[in-house]
Amino acid sequence: GAGVSQTPSNKVTEKGKYVELRCDPISGHTALYWYRQSLGQGPEFLIYFQGTGAADDSGLPNDRFFAVRPEGSVSTLKIQRTERGDSAVYLCASSVTGPPYNEQFFGPGTRLTVL
């Protein structure tokens, strides 16, 4: 079946602009995660959804970052007033159930560049 998909694959924006990144999880997966990866480092956790609710948003760096999953499937990560430091690859993952016994499957990522 289809894996996790993310759109767009690349996004270039100017400092101060608003961006939305979309994640389509594997069908039937109830848990969804957002991570951020900077060059040369491992992924950094941002937020975890179980169904429609954000069960853990402790990784969101500040209030410019927000994510939703209104119908328990597709999720959107929203970044307001983008800064150059937000440039990274944003990864989405999904799993059949939530933690702790959860094998996570990752999408191809969205490469965000803030000029």
Chain residues binding other proteins by CB under 8 A are: 33, 35, 41-45, 48, 55-56, 59, 89, 91, 98-106, 108-109, 111
Residue closer to other proteins, measured from CB, 3 or 85 = 3
Cβ 25 to other proteins, closest distance in Å?
A: 14
80: its two tokens? 């307001």
How many C-beta neighbours within 10 Å does residue 62 have?
Answer: 8
Tokens 């100017």 found at = 14
Based on CB atoms, which residue is closest to other proteins, 14 or 53?
A: 53
